Amino acid sequence: MDPRLSIYDNLGGAEGIRSLVEAFYPRVQQNDVLAPLFPEDIMPVMEKQYMFLSQFFGGPALFSDAYGHPMMRARHLKFPITDRHADEWLSCMAGALEEIGVESDLREFVLQRLSGPARHFVNTP
């Protein structure tokens, strides 16, 4: 990991974020806890995730440019999200990061950065 670069750039820019999203969502779809929260047609969700992660990790503000302020907690309130959902989501992301070959120090940093939002979305005991 190069500390002079954004997470976005450390992950390989647009291509790296796209690879991460493409490795992540098959894991989500196969996860018994997470899959019921997602629509059958996952492609629009994947595109929004690509746009959001690009922005979240320091790349272009794709999500905000298309949809306005992310307001991610508000966007997720309609789904019952528990601590277990957050754990499973982070586990899927860890597997995707490993699958695309992200080095361990960057992988841990990314997961730490994502753990805040994952926990922030919890809205159900």
Q: Tell me the pLDDT of the chain (125 aa) as tens digits.
A: 899 999 999 999 999 999 999 999 999 999 999 999 999 999 999 999 999 999 999 999 999 998 888 777 777 767 889 999 999 999 999 999 999 999 999 999 999 999 999 999 999 98
Task: DSSP for 18-54, please give it.
Answer: HHHHHHHHHHHHT-TTTGGGS-S--HHHHHHHHHHHH
Query: Which of these CATH numbers, 3.40.50.2300, 3.90.1150.10, 1.10.10.10, 1.10.490.10, describes 8-120?
Result: 1.10.490.10
Contact 11, 101 (CB under 8 A): no
The domain limits of the chain are 8-120
